[in-house]
Amino acid sequence: MEDDGQLLRIGLEDVAGTSWWASVLTTLTSQSGTAQLRFVGTVDGTGVYRGAIFPAPRTLGSLPPDEQWAPGMTQSLRDLQRRVEAGGWVQVGSGPGPWAFTYRRPGGDRSGQPD
CB 18 within 8 A of CB 42: no
Q: Classify residue 44: in a domain, yes or no.
A: yes
Residue 108 clears pLDDT 70, i.e. is over it = no
Q: Is the pTM of this model over 0.75?
A: no
State which residues form the domain around 53: 6-105
Q: Classify residue 112: in a domain, yes or no.
A: no
CB 99 within 8 A of CB 77: yes
Alpha-helix runs per DSSP H in the chain: 20-29, 73-86
Dist. CA 14–CA 55, nearest whole Å:
10
Q: Classify residue 12: in a domain, yes or no.
A: yes
Q: Classify residue 50: in a domain, yes or no.
A: yes
CB 114 within 8 A of CB 43: no
Could you read off the pLDDT of 6-63 as tens digits, one per residue?
899 999 888 875 544 444 454 455 555 677 889 999 999 999 999 998 888 766 556 6
Q: Classify residue 1: in a domain, yes or no.
A: no
How many domains does the chain contain in total? Answer: 1
Residues 6+ apart with CB under 8 A from 19: none
Q: Classify residue 115: in a domain, yes or no.
A: no
Q: Classify residue 110: in a domain, yes or no.
A: no
C-beta neighbour count of 3 within 10 angstroms: 10
Beta strands in 1-115 (DSSP E): 6-14, 34-43, 46-50, 54-57, 90-94, 101-105
